[in-house]
Amino acid sequence: MSSKNMTIHLKIWRQKCCSEKGRMENYTLTTVSPDMSFLEMLDLLNQELIVKGEEPVVFDHDCREGICGACSLMINGEPHGPEMLTTSCQLHMRKFKDGDTIVVEPFRAKAFPVIRDLACDRSAFDKIIASGGFISVNTGSGAEANATLVKQESAELAMDAAACIGCGACVAACSNASAMLFVAAKVSHLGLLPQGDPEASKRVYNMVKRMDELGFGNCSNEGECEAACPKGIKISNIARMNRKFLLSSLTSAPEEGGGKQEWN
Amino acid sequence: MFKLDAKIPEGPIQEKWDRYRFQLKLVNPANKRKYSVIVIGTGLAGASASASLAELGYNVQTFCISDSPRRAHSIAAQGGINAAKNYPNDGDSVWRLFYDTVKGGDYRSREANVYRLAQVSNNIIDQCVAQGVPFARDYGGTLANRSFGGAQVSRTFYARGQTGQQLLLGAYQAMMRQVGMGKVQLFTRREMLNLVVIDGRARGVVIRNLVTGELEHYVADAVILASGGYSTVYYLSTNAMNSNCSGIWRAHKKGAGLANPCFTQIHPTCIPMSSDHQSKLTLMSESLRNDGRVWVPKRAGDNRPPAEIPEEERDYYLERIYPSFGNLVPRDVASRNAKLQCDAGKGVGATKRAVYLDFASAIARDGADSIRKKYGNLFEMYERITDEDPYKAPMRIYPAVHYTMGGLWVDYNLMSTIPGLFVLGEANFSDHGANRLGASALMQGLGDGYFVIPYTIGNYLAELPLATVANGRPESKHPAFMAANKEVQEEINRIISVKGKRSVSDLHRELGKIMWEKVGMARNEKGLKEALTEIPRLREEFRRNSKVPGRADDLNPEMEKALRMNDYLDLGELMARDALGRLESCGGHFREESQTAESEAKRDDEKHCNVAVWEHKGEGALPERHVEELKFENVQLSQRSYK
């Protein structure tokens, strides 16, 4: 642990709301500890702004241990910043140098409109899940848990995909703002398990359709999503989803699923 | 003044829940759609309740403070979920899970509730597997188990170190399915700020829309609070930054009894605090104690790096003091012992408030790959935060506030002292007594939401005359709603008009210090009395000198914090008062005046075998303490021993 304070220059996106224009603002902090997390550095900035009577920078955050998926910062042009496999909240200032200038923006995508400053609306992800990202089993109707054996390998692959935290870094990283990695992770997680197999076709069809409706672009095949994913979700999930989607469109015309419901 | 009737069903404990379920009134399937239910919170308890009630046909309105219901803090639970499946054939049973939970809770939980929890534990695993929760499996394809603190059997199911995440996603997905079907209306970025009680029944809530700042009214036939625990009273805790006590505290102010608020759990294995800028503490799963060995140097003030301290100069104090449970003693015992070692000058690291958790023996025994497979993500997290490699040097850990066993008082139906207000998960008090065992919070949250509330809420609704429900539902402009709105609006106006000098976080940090030092791991009369004078003083400072920039009727995170701060101050004070009134030590509540010769917690079953239930008497008035006596008919009260 080092304790020498650093000076950090910040260029931060400030935007009142979705319908107003945003702009970059410059700030300088002189007492940044290398042991601070990136969000603690923003806390420090906000404390200074509040005491001065200015409005603090709004950003989404919650668990601060890399699992809730709330934090969503573009740091120097990269979702969650320069560290691989790391969310913004787990990025530490020791990864930057004294005197660095850091550019901080919100995740940008048509389907993720900015709410204020660095916070954006990612409810489109929930809408995709509502269209089919589940196994239709009512409470109480689960069979004895060991009645269906699951290959350890399948369980592990499903877990790899299920580790997605729904942060949206994949969308922010993609030149087409595609949500393919997010959708593919859920399609893989559920489709790899025998419990999720019966409605696998319907699931992939409905989720992909909903994703398109919500304004996400198509896969750019550039692999930026995989590189940006803080949980290491593999792009091979997209290939798996495409196979399933093709099969689903060739073999049947799935009924219209749910997922139409909007909420406030 | 309320009457405490736990409504524990008659009969032998094994039969209570079955018999009771048969006695409960049912709502005709065609009538269920005429009822509506509000659910506050989308963690394990709230999401599972929302999904289950919607599946039954009720109209559900669900609210969460985050941008998505999937962010609820259940997501961060790491280690696992207990169930009495006895798959490893090592002697587990519903009875043993029940017994371990009552004993682990230091005999301050309600037997009947705990037994029911142990009974439904197996259904939870079945349900989660059916939903596609990717639990760890053995090569043959069956479910794997691991052991956890406070138990001598392996009954914990897990999904790597992300069990909470996977269980929450299961419940969230089940709920989102109902959102898609139109049976759950979901409201995100909304915070409950008042409960509306009409004719003595909970009938709705006043909610602040966190994006627009507007106050909104929602009406229903019953309200379910699943808003989680209140560890953030301490400012620094392992809870998420937005986790807060306002839901339960505001219901308390409207007449819901608050039970055992001083019962807080200090988790033994957290990453130690490094400095004052810290915004929260990070927990390392208790499952690490399966393979990690806890030690400190034998000599106080030994400043050598761990590698230079030879084996014979290390004190593996948990193994030494508790030979039969060793490193797997319950959380309260492990935490207190860490504190005792540090108080004796044997703490390690720069701050000297830490002990080692060492994996060297396990790595030598099983190989680094095996350890990586079990705990890889935890080791990575540790390294990311501390910049140290736990494969090479022992981890430094220290206790941190993690969970609150206290909460709103509920009867066997999970209904509070306000008819129609149900409380689930960490927000209620009933199952964990004075100390929660590891991997039991997930079990309780899901047990309440999937397998208890769907039955008990039906009984409540069936007893309401249908006319008052379908036709006579109060309008959102009902005078009770307007009055509840006015209370909140006045509070907001007060906050915005202070224009003092200190930020809310700064004041919250100060409250946290008072709570940690005086209502923390060890408590005594002097400290508690000091807390009871310091907290009101801080409240004055907050009311006079806090600073909330921006507007009230707008997105304003500082306003959100300030509204919660009011409640933290009030609840913190009540926690100190409750701790002062409980003159015994039990579980996580350690009164220095009540300990054995070997510094273990000493209960007083004569005077304190009870639940303290507090009644709010209005602002500025002293709250009234009521008591629910606890009866132990199936488990014999004994001084806990893990030696």
Span B512-522, pLDDT tens digits: 999 999 999 99
- A130 with B180: Cβ contact below 8 A: yes
Please give, rounded to a whole number of angstroms, the shortest distance from the CA of B121 to a CA of chain A: 12
pLDDT at B504 over 60: yes
**What's the gap between Cα B204 and its chain centre?**
24
For CATH 1.10.1060.10, list the domain ranges present in chain A: 123-251
With tokens 């981890």, the residue in question is: B395
- A90 with B381: Cβ contact below 8 A: yes
| pLDDT at residue A261 in the model | 46
Q: What fold characterizes domain A6-116?
A: Ubiquitin-like (UB roll) (3.10.20)
HEC string of B37-89 equals EEEECCCHHHHHHHHHHHHHCCEEEEECCCCCHHHCHHHHCCCCEECCCCCCC
Answer with the residue of higher pLDDT: B486 or B376.
B486
Residues of B in contact with A3 (CB under 8 A): 275
Please give, rounded to a whole number of angstroms, the shortest distance from the CA of A35 to a CA of chain B: 8
| pLDDT at residue B233 in the model | 98
Q: B323-334: string of b/e by CB count within 10 Å (b at 16+)?
A: eebbbbbbbbbb
B606 and B507 within one domain = yes
With tokens 């410059």, the residue in question is: A26
| CA separation for the pair B127, B429 (Å, rounded) | 24
Q: Which domain holds residue B295?
A: 267-401
Q: B460-493: string of b/e by CB count within 10 Å (b at 16+)?
A: bbeebeeeebeeebbeeebeebeebbeebeeebe
- A56 with B558: Cβ contact below 8 A: yes
Q: What percent of chain B has pLDDT over 90?
A: 88
When scoring A31, A45, A58, A139 by the number of chain B Cβ atoms within 10 A, the one with the most, hence best to mutate, is A139
Q: What is the pLDDT of residues B237-295, one digit of tens each?
A: 999 999 999 999 999 999 999 999 999 999 999 999 888 889 999 998 888 999 999 99
pLDDT at A2 over 70: no
Residue B564 catalytic? no
Task: Give the helix/strand (H/E) hosting B14.
Answer: helix B13-23
pLDDT (average), residues A168-178: 97
Pick A33's closest partner by Cβ from B48, B127, B275.
B275
Angle at B613 between CA B608 and CA B619, to 5 degrees: 135
Please give, rounded to a whole number of angstroms, the shortest distance from the CA of B624 to a CA of chain A: 35
Residue B320 within a domain? yes
B397 and B490 within one domain = no
When scoring A5, A61, A65, A202 by the number of chain B Cβ atoms within 10 A, the one with the most, hence best to mutate, is A65
Q: What percent of chain A has pLDDT over 90?
A: 90
| CA separation for the pair B72, A21 (Å, rounded) | 32
**What's the whole-number average pLDDT of chain B?**
95
Please give, rounded to a whole number of angstroms, the shortest distance from the CA of B137 to a CA of chain A: 5
Please give the torsion angle defined by the CA atoms of residues A223, A226, A227 and A229, in that order, rounded to the nearest 10 degrees: 150
Q: What is the pLDDT of residues B9-46, one digit of tens each?
A: 999 999 999 999 999 999 999 999 999 999 999 999 99
B282 and B385 within one domain = yes
- A37 with B187: Cβ contact below 8 A: no
Residues of A in contact with B160 (CB under 8 A): 159, 163
Residue type, B144: A
Residues of B in contact with A138 (CB under 8 A): 52, 55
Q: What are phi and psi of B316, to 5 degrees?
A: -85, 75
Pick B277's closest partner by Cβ from A33, A130, A148.
A33
**What's the gap between Cα A46 and its chain centre?**
24
- By DSSP bridging, strand B421-423 and strand B222-225 are parallel
| pLDDT at residue B158 in the model | 95
Pick B132's closest partner by Cβ from A67, A132, A189.
A189
Please give the torsion angle defined by the CA atoms of residues B368, B369, B370 and B371, in that order, rounded to the nearest 10 degrees: 50
Residue of B nearest to A3 (CA): B275
Domain CATH number, residue B288: 3.90.700.10
| pLDDT at residue B470 in the model | 61
Pick the catalytic residue from B160, B331, B396, B523.
B331
**What's the gap between Cα B595 and its chain centre?**
26
B434, B106 Cβ separation under 8 angstroms: yes
B572 and B486 within one domain = yes
pLDDT band for position A252 (cuts 50, 70, 90):
low
| pLDDT at residue B467 in the model | 59
Residue B249 within a domain? no
B444, B425 Cβ separation under 8 angstroms: yes
Q: What is the pLDDT of residues B157-201, one digit of tens each?
A: 999 889 999 999 999 999 999 999 999 999 999 999 999 999 999
Residue type, A208: V
Residue type, B547: K
Neighbour order of strands in the sheet with B314-315: B264-270, B395-404, B355-358, B293-297, B314-315
- A263 with B179: Cβ contact below 8 A: yes
Residue of A nearest to B548 (CA): A50
Please give, rounded to a whole number of angstroms, the shortest distance from the CA of B245 to a CA of chain A: 15
pLDDT at B376 over 90: no
Closest alpha carbon to A162 in A241, A70, A233: A233
The full DSSP string for A90-103 is G-BGGGS-TT-EEE
Please give, rounded to a whole number of angstroms, the shortest distance from the CA of A61 to a CA of chain B: 8
Residue B557 within a domain? yes
| CA separation for the pair B424, B72 (Å, rounded) | 14
pLDDT at A187 over 50: yes
| pLDDT at residue A254 in the model | 53
Give how far Cα B1 sits from Cα of A193, B253, B428, B635, Å: 54, 13, 20, 32
Please give, rounded to a whole number of angstroms, the shortest distance from the CA of A170 to a CA of chain B: 17
pLDDT (average), residues B215-239: 97
| pLDDT at residue B466 in the model | 66
Helical pair A123-130 and A180-191, crossing angle rounded to 10 deg:
40
Ramachandran assignment for B513, one of left (phi > 0), alpha (psi -120 to 50 degrees), beta (any other):
alpha
When scoring A43, A59, A62, A118 by the number of chain B Cβ atoms within 10 A, the one with the most, hence best to mutate, is A62
User: Which of B352, B383, B401 finishes a domain?
Assistant: B401
Q: What is the pLDDT of residues B321-365, one digit of tens each?
A: 999 899 999 888 899 999 999 999 999 998 899 999 999 999 999
Closest alpha carbon to B565 in B500, B514, B495, B621: B495
The full DSSP string for B326-360 is GGG--HHHHHHHHHHHHHTT---SSSS--EEEE-H
Residues of A in contact with B228 (CB under 8 A): none
Closest alpha carbon to B332 in B437, B259, B471: B437
Q: Give the number of beta-carbon pairs within 8 Å between A and B.
A: 235
pLDDT (average), residues B101-129: 97
pLDDT band for position B57 (cuts 50, 70, 90):
very high
pLDDT (average), residues A15-35: 95
| pLDDT at residue B151 in the model | 87
For CATH 3.10.20.30, list the domain ranges present in chain A: 6-116
Residue of B nearest to A161 (CA): B134
- B173 with A133: Cβ contact below 8 A: yes
pLDDT (average), residues B522-536: 98
| Token reading at B381 | 């997290």
- B179 with A66: Cβ contact below 8 A: no
| CA separation for the pair B316, B326 (Å, rounded) | 9
pLDDT band for position B1 (cuts 50, 70, 90):
low
Residue of B nearest to A84 (CA): B384
**How is residue B447 annotated by DSSP?**
I
| pLDDT at residue B150 in the model | 79
The full DSSP string for B187-220 is E-SEEEEEEEEETTEEEEEEEEETTT--EEEEE-
- C-alpha radius of gyration, chain B, whole number: 24
| Total number of domains constituting chain B | 2
pTM: 0.96
| pLDDT at residue B256 in the model | 98
Q: A92-124: string of b/e by CB count within 10 Å (b at 16+)?
A: bbeebeeeeebebbbbebebbbbbbbbbbbbbb
pLDDT at A258 over 60: no
Q: What is the pLDDT of residues A113-159, one digit of tens each?
A: 999 999 999 999 999 999 999 999 999 999 999 999 999 999 999 99
| CA separation for the pair A197, A221 (Å, rounded) | 27
With a CB cutoff of 8 Å and minimum separation 6, the contacts of B311 are none
Q: What is the pLDDT of residues B544-580, one digit of tens each?
A: 999 999 999 999 999 999 999 999 999 999 999 999 9
A51, B547 Cβ separation under 8 angstroms: yes
| pLDDT at residue B147 in the model | 87
pLDDT at A255 over 70: no
Q: What is the pLDDT of residues B406-428, one digit of tens each?
A: 999 999 999 999 999 999 999 99
Please state which architecture CATH assigns to domain A123-251: Orthogonal Bundle (1.10)
| pLDDT at residue B469 in the model | 65
- A136 with B177: Cβ contact below 8 A: yes
- A139 with B52: Cβ contact below 8 A: yes
| pLDDT at residue A248 in the model | 87
- A137 with B138: Cβ contact below 8 A: no
Note the maximum CA span of chain B. 77
Residue of A nearest to B158 (CA): A159
B250, B195 Cβ separation under 8 angstroms: yes
Closest alpha carbon to A66 in B383, B213, B457: B383
Domain CATH number, residue B530: 1.20.58.100
Residues of B in contact with A263 (CB under 8 A): 179, 185-188
Pick B549's closest partner by Cβ from A43, A54, A163.
A54
